[in-house]
Amino acid sequence: MKERTPKTLRVPERGFDLRKVILDRYPALPGNQRKVADFLLHRSREAPFLSIMEIERQSGASKATIVRLAQNLGFSGFLQLRARLMEEVQSQIREPDLFPVPPASPGEETLTLVAHQDIRNINQTVSHLDRDSFEAVVKMIVKAPHVYTLGLGISSLMAQALAYSLNQVAVRATAMIHDCETFIEQLPFIGPADLVIAFSFPPYSRETVDLVKAAAARHIRVVGITDKITSPVGFHSVKVLPIRSQNRLFTNSFSAISVVINALATDVALRNRKRAMKALKEIERLLQAGGHYERE
């Protein structure tokens, strides 16, 4: 059966947020069109300068699929979509890389190659992370009676790091550990005013996604910290913080994730300065009194 071409919608001249339109229509898109949508969302600065053949090669979708996605988004075809992408790029002020990446040289050692990849992850994360979303997450953390963090694999380590950092700045936080109890079994102990922060990086854990779905169904606010807005946890989160985690191994790099964790805890401390300083001093006093530090 021939695929039906959707009716072309008129694209407004002003106030048209292409990113929002893509995200709104993403759940209803066919699988191949999602590949193109992901490419446009995460390569937004590069896409306007690529031909349809180059996007075909890099996204893994056919030229016909690219055209159909453009029509699904309300454009007459690929050229009109690319023109809109170009307008959006031109309207943005390009921020320089925070950490310059030296050019690669033949026979670079592993340490240098990995360091350069992590620098790129940090630069891309800082450059693309929406500041309004970041600020909204900080405000939710400050206001929540209790923050629960979770994840499996490397995401579990990151969840524990965030919970520890928040506790250090006087935010009551608990990392949900998958041990004798599953995440779902721990859900009844989370209150409606609490906040859940879910770490989810490829390969996505089904149990993490199931917990996020169940929490959202109970009207518990969920923040997703993941590799892209369109990851499985993203569609059940009130806010998503996408972080680049590319690595030369099959695992995810946690350099950029650590930067965001540190930034969240720091911003929370700055907004909660008196309470955070009081807690830090009390922790220091108790550790000193308990003899936890070795004398010099």
Do 25 and 73 belong together in one domain? yes
What are the CA-CA distances from residue 144 to residues 149, 198, 214, 240 (Å)? 13, 15, 19, 17
Strand 221-226's sheet: what is its strand order?
173-175, 147-150, 195-200, 221-226, 239-242
Residue type for position 185? E
Q: Which residues contact 279 (CB under 8 A, 6 or more apart)?
A: 168, 169, 170
- Are 208 and 169 contained in the same domain? yes
Same domain, 210 and 150: yes
* 3-state secondary structure at position 139: helix
Instruction: Tell me which amino acid residue 13 is.
Output: E
Domain with 142, as residue range(s), is 121-287
Q: Are 279 and 207 found together in one domain?
A: yes
Q: Are residues 53 and 138 in the same domain?
A: no
Q: What pLDDT shows up at residue 179?
A: 81
pLDDT of residue 87: 74
CATH number for position 71: 1.10.10.10
Give yes or no: residues 63 and 128 share one domain.
Answer: no
Tens digits of per-residue pLDDT, 86-112? 777 656 544 444 555 555 555 567 788
- Over residues 139-175, the pLDDT tens digits come to 999 999 999 999 998 899 999 999 999 998 889 999 9
Tell me what pLDDT residue 198 has: 98
Reduced to 3 DSSP states, what percent helix, strand and coil does the chain have, rounded to the nearest 5? 55, 10, 35
pLDDT level of residue 259 (50, 70, 90 thresholds): very high
Contacts of 294 (CB under 8 A, 6+ apart): none
- Does residue 33 lie in a domain region? yes
pLDDT for residue 159: 96
125 and 61 both lie in a single domain: no
pLDDT digits (tens, 9 = 90+) for 56-75: 988 899 999 999 999 998 88
pLDDT of 218 above 90: yes
What is the rounded distance in angstroms from the CA atom of residue 234 to the CA atom of residue 138?
A: 18
**Mean pLDDT throughout 216-242?**
94
Q: Are residues 250 and 126 in the same domain?
A: yes
Nearest-angstrom CA–CA distance, 263 and 243: 13
116 within a domain of the structure (yes/no): no
Token pair belonging to 53: 């053949």
pLDDT on residue 12: 44
- What pLDDT was estimated at residue 126? 87
Cα(55)–Cα(38) distance, rounded to whole angstroms? 11
Residue 106 falls inside a structural domain:
no
**Which of 89-93, 189-193, 214-218, 244-248 is least confident?**
89-93
Show which of 69, 91, 113 is a domain's final residue: 91
- The answer to whether position 41 is within a domain reads yes
As a whole number, mean pLDDT of residues 265-274 equals 85
- Domain shared by 74 and 134, yes or no: no
Q: What is the pLDDT of residues 78-92, one digit of tens each?
A: 888 888 887 776 565
